[in-house]
């Protein structure tokens, strides 16, 4: 799985290896290779383009860490973006709060629906659920038999009604499951070779009648971008909850896995990795990204180095807070950190009441704050009290803001300063300690 993509990506990183510094030219070269690798893996064109753009943005503004090379840093950035692309966190099944969870499987013929039905049944049973399989594909004569054999293999009952319409079978099966204390019902529906109106209408009817907790599209990864288009079409009519991507064990180029989430907004919930009934895995974006890159060790290395930086900055900050020497420069540093770290717990969080100070840390606000602080002299930044009316006018002119905005920033800063100093033991110190403990925590890469 993904061998070629993995190979091409490591080829792209090779151009960066041995470089002491990232120049725009070398980054551009590597990015071009990464983009080509993605397109060759059949990733959607726009998705590949956006991906590379995001990596570029992050790579260019990166602080150089002493302990890692530029190539390693770029690998880490690509890894993080892959995780984002794949959906960040693992998506779980929607379970019914009461009664049986109904899972409806849809998809084209041969995509692996019946196999997935068996696999899911096995998976859910291993979680202690009593499962009922439902043979709702009445058009292929052998379809019901196939499911019954699978059911027997894993000792899960299969619900069948001869000579009845799929809608009827599904409704009855769910009723049966409710009465029989089943925890999950899996509907194995019929598929055609292509999307056709009749098939879709039938699926819509089933969905309307049984209101499944999960409508999952089963899609063959080997069909690449076709699978993505298919997901969009099914989603329009059926409002999918997610996708099961099958046959990832084959020579799938990976494009479907990489584009699905970005294009359709629907998560991949499981992947099929073989014909056997235990070849089903919940989909974990970070594991998949590590598999694709094949460079888990580099990612961990960079992460450690970044953690170390954060830690030393924390210590510096702590000293400043103790000495009550928190300046506008430190403030700006904190804002930049906040932006860089994104979702990471930020150092500014340890400023009690910061969120109440009304300062929005969106991109635009940050640019303004930065412009204002940059227009101050170093003395002014250390000691904002010296900023009188005429200095305010100068700063406003220099930063393209107005005096009112300068005033507002100074007011907010002095509020924050007071809160920081005032909080002492109870506030930031305790938070710092707990953050440090968190910083030490390891991460598992699989």
Ligand X SMILES: Nc1nc2c(ncn2[C@@H]2O[C@H](COP(=O)(O)OP(=O)(O)O)[C@@H](O)[C@H]2O)c(=O)[nH]1
Interacting residue ranges for ligand X, rule: CB under 6 A: 107, 109-115, 191, 218, 246-247, 249-250, 272-275, 279
**Minimum separation from the CB atom of position 112 to ligand X (A):** 3
CB under 5 A: which stretch of 111-119, 175-183, 227-235, 271-279 binds Mg ion? 111-119
CB under 5 A: which stretch of 108-116, 174-182, 244-252, 309-317 binds Mg ion? 108-116
Question: With respect to ligand X, which residue has the nearer C-beta, 48 or 147?
Answer: 147
Question: With respect to ligand X, which residue has the nearer C-beta, 114 or 375?
Answer: 114
Question: With respect to Mg ion, which residue has the nearer C-beta, 69 or 114?
Answer: 114
Question: With respect to ligand X, which residue has the nearer C-beta, 22 or 120?
Answer: 120
**Minimum separation from the CB atom of position 114 to Mg ion (A):** 3
User: Roughly how many angstroms between the first and final C-alpha of the chain, as a whole number?
Assistant: 16
41-54 CB burial, b ≥16 within 10 A, e <16:
bbbbeebbeebbeb
Only one residue has tokens 């699905």, namely: 260
Instruction: Please list, in sequence order, all residues whose beta carbon lies within 8 angstroms of the beta carbon of residue 351, skipping any fewer than 6 positions away.
Output: 334, 416, 419, 420, 423, 428
**Minimum separation from the CB atom of position 188 to Mg ion (A):** 6
Helix (H, G, I), strand (E, B) or coil at 188: strand
Query: Residues touching Mg ion: how many (CB under 5 A)?
Result: 2
Question: With respect to ligand X, which residue has the nearer C-beta, 111 or 215?
Answer: 111
**Minimum separation from the CB atom of position 107 to Mg ion (A):** 9
Comparing every residue's Cβ against Mg ion, the nearest one is 114
Helix (H, G, I), strand (E, B) or coil at 403: helix
In angstroms, the CA 271 to CA 245 distance is 5
**Taking the CA atoms of the chain, what radius of gyration do you get in angstroms?**
28
**Minimum separation from the CB atom of position 289 to ligand X (A):** 20
Find the DSSP H helices in 194-295.
197-210, 225-238, 255-264, 285-293
Comparing every residue's Cβ against ligand X, the nearest one is 272
* Token pair belonging to 56: 């570029």
Based on the shown chain and the rule CB under 5 A, indicate whether residue 114 belongs to the binding site for Mg ion. Answer: yes
Q: Is 210 left (phi over 0), alpha (psi -120 to 50) or beta?
A: alpha
Question: With respect to Mg ion, which residue has the nearer C-beta, 56 or 247?
Answer: 247
Question: With respect to ligand X, which residue has the nearer C-beta, 250 or 352?
Answer: 250
**Minimum separation from the CB atom of position 189 to Mg ion (A):** 8
For the beta carbon of residue 181, count every other beta carbon within 10 angstroms.
9
* Token pair belonging to 219: 């899609």
**Minimum separation from the CB atom of position 233 to Mg ion (A):** 19
Order of all β-strands in the sheet with 131-136: 158-159, 131-136, 184-189, 101-106, 214-220, 242-246, 268-272, 280-282
* Binding residues for Mg ion (CB under 5 A): 113-114
């Amino acid at each position: 799985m993904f061998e070629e993509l993995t190979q091409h990506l490591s080829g792209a990183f090779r151009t960066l290896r041995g470089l002491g510094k990232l120049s725009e030219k070398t980054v551009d070269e590597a990015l071009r290779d990464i983009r080509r690798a993605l397109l060759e893996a059949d990733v959607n064109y726009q998705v590949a383009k956006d991906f590379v753009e995001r990596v570029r943005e992050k790579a260019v503004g990166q602080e150089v860490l002493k302990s890692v090379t530029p190539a390693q840093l770029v690998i880490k950035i690509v890894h993080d973006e892959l995780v984002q692309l794949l959906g960040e966190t693992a998506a779980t099944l929607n379970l019914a709060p009461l009664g049986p969870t109904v899972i409806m499987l849809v998809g084209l013929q041969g995509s692996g629906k019946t196999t997935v039905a068996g696999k899911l049944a096995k998976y859910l049973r291993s979680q202690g659920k009593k499962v009922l399989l439902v043979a709702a594909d009445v058009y292929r004569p052998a379809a019901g038999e196939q499911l019954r054999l699978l059911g027997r293999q894993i000792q899960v009952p299969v619900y069948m009604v001869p000579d009845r319409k799929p809608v009827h079978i599904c409704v009855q099966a769910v009723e049966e499951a409710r009465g029989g204390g089943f925890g999950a019902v899996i509907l194995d529906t019929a598929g055609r070779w292509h999307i056709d109106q009749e098939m879709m209408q039938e699926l819509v009817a089933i969905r309307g009648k049984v209101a499944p907790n999960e409508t999952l599209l089963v899609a063959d990864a080997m069909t690449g971008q076709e699978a993505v288009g298919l997901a969009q079409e099914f989603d329009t009519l059926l409002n999918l909850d997610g996708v099961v991507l099958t046959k990832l064990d084959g020579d799938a180029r990976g494009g479907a896995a990489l584009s699905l989430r970005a294009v359709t907004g629907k998560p991949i919930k499981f992947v099929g990795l073989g014909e056997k009934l235990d070849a089903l895995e919940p989909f974990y974006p970070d594991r998949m990204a590590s598999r694709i890159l094949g460079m888990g060790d580099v990612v961990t290395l960079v992460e450690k180095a970044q953690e170390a930086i954060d830690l030393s900055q924390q210590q510096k900050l702590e000293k400043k807070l103790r000495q009550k020497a928190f300046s506008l420069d430190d403030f700006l540093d904190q804002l930049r950190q906040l932006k860089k770290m994104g979702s990471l717990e930020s150092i500014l969080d340890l400023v009690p009441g910061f969120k109440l100070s009304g300062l929005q840390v969106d991109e635009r606000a940050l640019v303004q704050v930065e412009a204002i602080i940059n227009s101050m002299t170093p003395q002014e930044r250390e000691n904002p009290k010296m900023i009188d009316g005429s200095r305010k006018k100068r700063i406003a002119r220099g930063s393209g803001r107005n005096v009112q905005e300068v005033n507002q920033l100074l007011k907010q800063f002095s509020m924050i300063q007071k809160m920081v100093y005032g909080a002492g033991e109870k506030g930031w110190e305790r938070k710092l300690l707990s953050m440090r403990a968190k910083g030490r925590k390891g991460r598992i890469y699989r």
